[in-house]
Every structure is written in C-alpha cells, then in structure tokens.
Amino acid sequence: MLKTGMIVAERYEILGKIGTGGMADVYKAKDHKLNRFVAVKVLKPEFREDTTFIKKFRSEAQAAAVLTHPNIVNVFDVGDDNGVYYIVMELIEGITLKEYISKKGKLSVKEATSIAIQVSMGLEAAHSHGIVHRDVKPQNIIISMDGKVKVTDFGIARAASSNTISSNVMGSVHYSSPEQVRGGYSDEKSDIYSLGITLYEMVTGKVPFDGDTTVAIAIKHLQEEMVPPSAYTPELPHSLEQIILKCTQKSVDRRYQNMEDVIADLKHSLIDPQGDFVKLTSVDTDAKTVVISDKELGEIKHMPKQVSKPEPEVLEEEINETDYDDEPEETSRRKKGVRSEKKKKKNGGGHAMTIAMLIMGVIILVGIILVAGKASGLIGSNSGNSSEKTEQSESSGVDKDGMVTVPNLVGKTEDEAKTITNEINLGVQAMGEEVSTQEKGKISSQDIPVDSKVEPYTTIKYYISKGAQQITIPEVDGQTGSDAQQTLEDMGLKVTVQKEYSDLNDDGTPMVDPGYADHTTPAAGASVSSGDTVTLIVSRGVDYGDSVEVPSVVGMTKNDAITTFGKFLNVEVQEEKSTDVPAGEVISQEPEAGNWEDPDTVNVVLTVSTGDQEPGTDDQSTDSSDTTAQTSGSDSATQQAAIANGEVWKCTQTLNTPTGYSGGPVRLELIQNVNGTPTASVVLEGQTIEFPYDLDITGAPGVSEGTLYLSEQINGTYQELGNYSITFAKAE
C-alpha cells in the first residue's frame, strides 16, 4: 500500500487512495511532469511475484494505451518502480454504473439506451484495434460527473485470463458468457453477451441469472433461458427487449456479430421503440425432425390398402361434371352441351388427348404412392408377414422396446452425422463451434452420451470443432522448473521435463542455477496448439562429476525441495500421513543429507506430508459423497464405470493464493462440459487449506478441461474469490 506523499517513477505524487479491486489498489495522484491529476492503479503484492502475469500485463496494458476514445478510460503510462507495478490512467470523477443502478433501482429506457450506446462505442473502438475486454460489467463502467460514460480496465482481463491458474482476476460470473463459463475461447461476441446482461440489469434492476453458488449461476448461463426483461419492466419497448435477447443468445452464431450492428439497433430503438426490426434467429427455425404422434401414425397405417384403378370413362365423366356455383346458368348449360358433344366424339382431337394424359398421370401417381407407402411401412401388403416387419424395425435401429441406441458422432462430418442418424430415425441439430482437439470442421461433442437409449425421432445436439486453440509459448527463464512446468500445463500443453547441465559464465558459475528453467523446445514465442507436447529443459547447474553432496530438504515445501535437488536426475516424491508435519512439507529424504552420491544414478526419494489425510483419500477424491452437487445432466454411472475400467482423468495443477483470501474455509466447485451437457460437482467444501495448494481432482473420462471456482466462507456465506481454467490428462 502506498502512502500519501510518495512519488512513483519520480513523477506521480500519491494524493490518496480512491478505490480497491480484486487485483489492484487505485490512487489519485498528481502528474508533475504534465501538471494534471491522474489515477494510478498499483498491482497488489501477490501479482508482483507472478513473472508470467507481469509480462502479459505489461504487453496488454501497452496495447490498451493506444486506445484513445471518449468512451474509454485512457491509459497514459505503464511501468514499475522498485517492484511497484503501476498503470497511470485518466482520472474520472464519478461513480460506477453498478453504484448508479443500486441508487436508482432501475434506469429509464432512454437513459439505459444512451449508456448502452456509449459503452458499445467504446467497445467498438477497442475491437477495431483487436482488443477484447472480456470483463464487461457495471463495475467496470464509470459515469462521470458531467454524464459521460467510460469503460475501464481494458487489457487487464485479457492478461489475467491467459494465466488464470495463478490469477483470480476474472469478473463476476453474473456477466460471463457461456463460452467463458465453459472455459473456451472468447472474442468480441463475448463482450456483446456481457453488454446484454448489463443492459438487462439497467432496465430491470437485477441480473437475469443468480444463485447461491458460483457454479449454480454458471450452469444457468449454459442451459437456462432468461426471464424476459419485460416480465420485470412491463413498459419496456419491444425493440429494446429484442436487442437484449439477441445480445444474450447462448450460441455465438445467433448473437450480434459486431458492435456496429448493436449500436445501429440501439439508435433505431430510440426512433422506433415498438418496431420489429431486430432479427432474432429462433431455434425453432433450425432444421429438425418432425415427430408424428402415435395417433397420427395409426391413422396413416389404417388408410385403404388398395386404390381401384379408375375407368377412363368414369374419370372423364367426373372431370367433365365438375361445375362452379358462381357461373351463370346459361353459361353452365352451354358448357354442358359442349361436353356432351365431345363425349360422343370418342375419337375427338386435343381434348381427348388431354384427358388421356390426365388418366395416365393419375395412374402413375397412384402407383408411386403405393410403392412409397409399402417401402416406408405406412401402407400394408396382403403378402406381408411379421418377419418382414422385424427386418424393417432392425434396419431402422429400433430395438424390441421401441428405443434407439445413440451413435458416436464425434469425429464425423455433419453430412456423415446426418446420414448415420437418418438411417436410425434420429435427428441432429448444430449448436455452434468450440475449441477442440478434433479436426477443424468435424463434430467435437454431442449432448446425448454414446450408447444411450432414446425414443425414435429424438434430436441429438452437437458442436463443431474450430480446431485446437493456438498458444504462444511464454518465456520461462527465471522460474523454477516446477513453476515453469505448471505455467505450461496451465496453458493446456503437455510437458516433458529434461535435465541438462548449464552453460557456464566466464567465472565458471552456471548461467542458469540448478533446478531452474533453462529454455523450452519449441522456443519461447513459438505458436503451438493446445494439447501439444513441449520439452522443458531444467538446469543441473555445474557438472562436478560423479560425486556431489546431498542437500538437506526436510521441512521444505515439495516444490522447493525438488528445485534444491535440481542437479539430481532421479527424484521421486511419495506421500505419507503426518499429524506433526504440515501438509505439503518434506518429512524425510533418502539418501540422507551430507552423503556424497553420483547425481546421475542415485535414486532420491522425498516423503511429503499429507497432513491428517490418508494419501489418495483427501477431499479431492471422486467418492460419490464428494460429488453430490452434480447436475441432472451428469452421467455419474458412466463416469464410475470408466473409472472402474481404469480410465481415470486427473488434474494435478497448483493453485496460488487467491486475492483477498483471509484463511477461512473454502469451497472448490468444478464445472465440465460432458457430451455437450454442463456437469458440476463440489470438489471440496468447508475445509481450510494452505496455498500454494496442489490439486488432485478426478474429472469426467475423456474431458480434458474444466473451470474451477474458488469461494471463501465469509460471515456464514461463500463469496467467490476466483475461477480457474484447469486441464485434465488420462492417468497412465
């Protein structure tokens, strides 16, 4: 915390603290170089220790500094002064939109629309520079004393989201888009969703999705439809409600595609409040299977099985006797006379030919109907028997109970999926795109699990793969091997660790200390896909030959002990229950400290305490008692069967201390997308834990990612401190 009167960067004089947030404190300051007042945002100490976050924070803040717009809180400067990392911004005298809504209850239509337009214009300017906010919410929108609306914190959410396992600066889940909740890729349309939620709150005074827990709210974003805002504000104009609904579509394809379109419709709504100009893509307009009821099917089956072949003369008579009530009587008689005359001339000209052609057409049509009816089983045949019906049932995929087995569509093209499902009387519906390890353009997930039994004509919803997410390998120099490995794994990469002796400086000291990261292959800055394998080279320091002294690590944390044994090739960690040694600390080591051993061949065994928990039976186990919060969409039986068969998917990442944690009991909740259905579970609840905290979570089989929500119990209720994108890998 900075004190009044301090000078930052020999330029900014701190005048007083004006606010605080999850990741930074904000001070009013005087810029003595340009003689103006500014706001200085200073990162909290826990973020200063995260070198990866700091680098990302700098680059994103510098990118945000290029934005100059009347509806954006402009960034003037970014830097650090003796470990104090700061951003200098435009000083806005006013209140946040959240405070404004709280004071007024809800805003008038004209006021809410005006604010939304100004916010949209600021976001449009950012998007045009390739900057996505990712944390749009009323708390990040400031209304100045003169009524101007400005959006703040550009670039900071992006910096945080790239390293969420050690940062908890993501915004409130009340405003998060479904793709953000799911932990997937977010872009400009995520900002549009969050803007829609903010506009909803402005006109109703409440958020559309709320709940007792963070995960409960996240699930609602994924699978519940919001209550229309007009239910709370009956006088809300039709056009503005349609704008809100279009912004908040769960599928990104059905939202506005850019901010320009949002602004255009918002302005139009001021001119034509009740207009129907907002084009919503309804789910009902998508192609889907029409289900015929049993009653309708029965009526079709009991239609007459044979149609008599019409006699030409009878048919001709029926055609010729057709009359129209609106014709004059004389005209009618005249026509009848003409028809009678033609009827006598059976060898007549063109009219006879026309009748013959009509007769032939009817006969052909009746034949087609009979053939098609028999082929589809709707029209019976006197020669049919039960064996033929059985064969037809089997070919349509319907079993003896009248149910159909759901096929595996993952990895198939959309055309292949339609062919497969059409053959067994099932329907399919595309729900959008998602990042996946599946090939781009192939189906990446489906909402109904494979081999499930469903009724005929059920519709399977699926997502199309956008391909693997592209990741830029970060710099890892300066980090310990353990921290560097964690950083890379948090980004969705698989890591292979190799230890090598370091190059030496002129004085014979190692360029990289033992136990610390040297470099990666591919090198930092290279672009790879999520799920790719990266080799991490960890330094062994100086090569002193085949005999070095064994260090003492008893009492150290596990990661510190592994770093200290950086020179040794073979280091094994085992766990043991201990009520005397805090969890995570080394109880004993083998070989003993002071011995001289060959670092290439000796096997080092570190025994680490699990506290009062038995190894492998801690609170992150997948016992059914720990997963009582699973939603109805979960497939726990399938998961347990997979685990029984040895298919176990684990997450063993490490959580750093979350901002604002005061040492109280915590709750960890996991949400994963299982076959297109959000599945939630409570990993841990009511426990006090120490950070850094090593996770040991078993997830759904075959699901490689998830989002972990961390809340602390404060005054009897749980309050969210952060959410983290975590990855799972199949345990060997």
The string of DSSP letters for 659-707 reads TT--S--EEEEEEEEETTEEEEEEEEEEE---SSEE--EEE-TT--EEE
- With a cut of 70, say whether residue 14 has pLDDT above it: yes
Amino acid at 112: A
Per the model's pLDDT, the better-predicted residue between 467 and 80 turns out to be: 80
Residue 647 confidence (pLDDT): 64
**Distance of alpha carbon 633 from the chain centroid:** 16
**Active-site annotation, residues:** 135
Residue 539 banded pLDDT, cuts 50, 70, 90 = very high
pTM score, whole prediction: 0.47
Residue 265 confidence (pLDDT): 95
567 in helix, strand or coil? coil
Contact (CB, 8 A) for 57 and 67: no
Listed in sequence order, the DSSP H helices in 224-258 are 238-247
Give the DSSP H/E element, type plus range, for residue 218: helix 214-223
- With a cut of 90, say whether residue 61 has pLDDT above it: no
Entry field: residues in the chain: 732
79 in helix, strand or coil? strand
User: What SS3 string covers 507-534?
Assistant: CCCECCCCCEEEEEECCCCCEEECCCEE
Per the model's pLDDT, the better-predicted residue between 358 and 385 turns out to be: 358
Residue 313 confidence (pLDDT): 43
- Distance from C-alpha of 173 to C-alpha of 723, rounded to nearest angstrom: 9
Q: What is the pLDDT of residues 482-522, one digit of tens each?
A: 888 988 887 778 899 999 999 998 888 999 999 999 999 99
Residue 367 confidence (pLDDT): 58
Residue 413 confidence (pLDDT): 93
- Spatial strand order of the sheet with 494-500 comes to 494-500, 533-539, 517-521
- With a cut of 90, say whether residue 262 has pLDDT above it: yes
Residue 496 confidence (pLDDT): 92
Amino acid at 538: V
Mean pLDDT, the chain, rounded, equals 78
- With a cut of 70, say whether residue 640 has pLDDT above it: no
- Distance from C-alpha of 95 to C-alpha of 110, rounded to nearest angstrom: 19
Contact (CB, 8 A) for 482 and 541: no
Q: What is the pLDDT of residues 405-427, one digit of tens each?
A: 999 999 999 999 999 998 898 88
Per the model's pLDDT, the better-predicted residue between 226 and 471 turns out to be: 226
Say which residues have a Cβ less than 8 Å from residue 386's Cβ, sequence separation at least 6.
none
Contact (CB, 8 A) for 164 and 156: no
Residue 57 confidence (pLDDT): 67
Residue 616 banded pLDDT, cuts 50, 70, 90 = low
86 in helix, strand or coil? strand
Contact (CB, 8 A) for 677 and 638: no
- Distance from C-alpha of 419 to C-alpha of 704, rounded to nearest angstrom: 29
Residue 352 banded pLDDT, cuts 50, 70, 90 = low
Residue 566 banded pLDDT, cuts 50, 70, 90 = very high
Listed in sequence order, the DSSP H helices in 402-464 are 414-423
Amino acid at 162: S
Q: What is the pLDDT of residues 88-111, one digit of tens each?
A: 999 998 899 999 999 899 999 999
Listed in sequence order, the DSSP H helices in 65-187 are 97-104, 109-128, 156-161, 178-181
Structural tokens at position 404 = 């159909």
Listed in sequence order, the DSSP H helices in 302-451 are 312-320, 329-344, 350-376, 386-395, 414-423
Distances, alpha carbon 100 to alpha carbons 10, 109, 204, 485, in Å: 36, 15, 13, 45
Average pLDDT, stretch 181-192? 83
Average pLDDT, stretch 603-617? 83
Q: What is the pLDDT of residues 263-313, one digit of tens each?
A: 999 999 999 899 999 988 755 434 444 445 554 444 444 444 444 444 444
Q: What is the pLDDT of residues 306-343, one digit of tens each?
A: 444 444 444 344 334 434 344 444 444 444 444 444 44
Closest C-alpha to 709, from 655, 663, 662: 655
Closest C-alpha to 589, from 569, 606, 571: 606
Residue 631 confidence (pLDDT): 33
Average pLDDT, stretch 354-372? 57
Give the DSSP H/E element, type plus range, for residue 90: strand 84-90
Judged by average pLDDT, the poorest of 27-31, 186-190, 349-353 is: 349-353
Judged by average pLDDT, the poorest of 125-129, 179-183, 224-228 is: 179-183
Contact (CB, 8 A) for 458 and 31: no
Give the DSSP H/E element, type plus range, for residue 603: strand 603-609
